[in-house]
Structure 1
């Protein structure tokens, strides 16, 4: 998606004429979200423009993140990761969480204005907020709508701490804004890198940036003074949970200067469960019974397994010095292997 120089109502005007669906068509067969939104299509991706009814939402405890609150300008994500736990939300919109998640994106066009009101409320305690939990806030739709600059300014004007969760190099577009915000409040970033084997990434995260590219983003943000860690998610049971996989991922995070590594084992809520298990049955059918034992009918792997993985990652982080400001582990590398944005 691309945007020209003009804008309206805080959202960019598309460079190409979108296909807009009439709101007069109220057929009950249409998805619920289509009966409530202005619908535009860009390059095969349908965007549903809606006003934000609320900005800050509670983070599910099962997400395994150190945040209580989240705000997301987009619901759905063009990266289309098979395992994405946010797929579940599409079901509530009358959309298919498997087939529609990457091609039908909800755009909360007024999120920045709503956010300003909520952050100014006397009932708001000023807690840290993570951005992008229901869809990458720097996915391709952001090139068209440009919602994030106003959102960053809203947090800065309120002096409210926030963390950007993204896999996309587009975040570097707003580097100056993030640095300005960091002068008045705590600003951080998390880059999801569950594993560093790009063959697996192509299978389960087909449209996402490569692990190498994400680690370059982490390095660039840290070099610019924006504290960036790695969300080691998802760790895929029986696929990327071996000692070698875990060690390689933590080592590469350390090389990139990650200030933290937060491990999170694959979750399988509704939507993600159907998408991921369909791939697993097709590509690794022998693993399906073991997943059924590990997950049962729930979205979380058994507690003992998750605890073992967390302990292994914690030990590796200690080995490579992640989280210790006095020392960062570096492997000796030739200049052509240095992390660099290209």
Structure 2
């Protein structure tokens, strides 16, 4: 039998899973989600057990982001792919409404798999629909973000009673440039907090992640809490760095290059589950709690109170 008579074998498609399933548009991966309310990983360190995230991946490129491992399930890496290949769920609002129709009312986090106000939101504008759906269902929700873009929706967030938690882990710009290279600086976030409070938004600060041996000394913690208090918020939720799979390898590679003398200490502090030593975490959270009392702020996760379903203002016809 000649070579041209051999049976044809279809070549295997070796592209990453996301590239085989998604539509690539303007540099974003659009993927129709089958489920949008997802369980929050135990290692996340936030109060909510469930979350909805319009985007997966984040151009803020925070080295310690605990969501990095999710990109591996898409056939991408937890490092630079997470920072540059952002997955968009264009049907998130429709799916969220369907799931909320049978939801038990448990509080939800918004933006755990990627900042929900990162630059992709300027293009897709998914958050107004998400906020409205949550308010109409009367489900308590907290939006987690580092981005000033959230101010665009300040009036809606205030009207709907959706809480915003702005992440400000430290006020040292040298650390921020190293570990949060794509995010705005601490001063811009402090100004953002003040603007949200002025706009009537229920706003708090997520003081995390606190970085062991990098941003955890007494002077750094005191400076951060003091400036948060000056921004006008009354509640702080501290979180010590978590290092789940994916995050651990990416953060560890940076740590080994930038601070090789700290690698052994981190190995002592963190177990296989990615959680910090309980003794260390208790000490840091205790210090922050004491500082919060000094500056008249509550310390801890807390949850927004359940609300009656919100129906918005009826249009006059």
TM, length-normalised to structure 1: 0.82
- Retained in 2: the 8 A contact 1:77–1:139? yes
1:68 aligns with 2:49: yes
Q: Out of 94-103 and 288-297, give the one that drifted further.
A: 288-297
CA distance in 2, matches of 1:245, 1:170: 27
Aligned to 1:334: none
CA distance in 2, matches of 1:179, 1:284: 42
Aligned to 2:289: 314
CA distance in 1, matches of 2:158, 2:171: 28
1:111 aligns with 2:96: no
Aligned to 2:239: 264
Decide whether aligned partners of structure 1 residues 287 and 114 sit closer, same or farther in structure 2, where only a CA change above 3 A counts.
same
CA distance in 1, matches of 2:183, 2:265: 27
1:100-157 C-alpha deviation (Å, 9 max, x unpaired): 0111011011010011111111xx2112211000000000001111111111111122
CA distance in 1, matches of 2:136, 2:11: 40
Shift of residue 27, structure 1, vs aligned partner: 5.1
After superposition, the CA RMSD in angstroms is 1.5
CA distance in 1, matches of 2:250, 2:11: 30
CA distance in 2, matches of 1:224, 1:216: 12
The SS at the match of 1:70 is strand
Shift of residue 214, structure 1, vs aligned partner: 0.9
Q: Out of 75-84 and 50-59, give the one that drifted further.
A: 50-59
Aligned to 2:111: 132
Decide whether aligned partners of structure 1 residues 212 and 26 sit closer, same or farther in structure 2, where only a CA change above 3 A counts.
farther
How do 1:175-324 residues align onto structure 2 when only pairs under 5 Å count?
175-182=154-161, 187-323=162-298
Aligned to 1:38: 23
CA distance in 2, matches of 1:239, 1:161: 34
CA distance in 1, matches of 2:17, 2:220: 42
CA distance in 1, matches of 2:250, 2:38: 25
The SS at the match of 2:80 is coil
Aligned to 1:100: 81
- Retained in 2: the 8 A contact 1:233–1:265? yes
TM, length-normalised to structure 2: 0.88
Structure 1: gaps (5+ residues): 1-24, 325-342
How do 1:3-18 residues align onto structure 2 when only pairs under 5 Å count?
none
Structure 2: gaps (5+ residues): 1-9, 300-317
The SS at the match of 2:78 is coil
Shift of residue 245, structure 1, vs aligned partner: 0.8
- Compare relative contact order (CA 8 Å, sep 6+) and give the higher one, 1 or 2: 2
CA distance in 2, matches of 1:310, 1:102: 29
1:197-231 C-alpha deviation (Å, 9 max, x unpaired): 01100011101010111111111111111111111
The SS at the match of 1:100 is helix
CA distance in 2, matches of 1:79, 1:27: 34
Structure showing greater Rg: 2
Shift of residue 40, structure 1, vs aligned partner: 2.0
Aligned to 1:88: 69
1:296-326 C-alpha deviation (Å, 9 max, x unpaired): 43311111101111111111111110039xx
- Retained in 1: the 8 A contact 2:45–2:242? no
CA distance in 1, matches of 2:206, 2:12: 42
Shift of residue 278, structure 1, vs aligned partner: 1.1
- Retained in 2: the 8 A contact 1:227–1:259? no
1:165-210 C-alpha deviation (Å, 9 max, x unpaired): 110000011112212313xxxx211011111101100011101010
- Retained in 2: the 8 A contact 1:26–1:35? no
Aligned to 1:78: 59
Moved over 6 A (4+): none
Residues matched between the structures, number: 290
- Retained in 2: the 8 A contact 1:130–1:165? yes
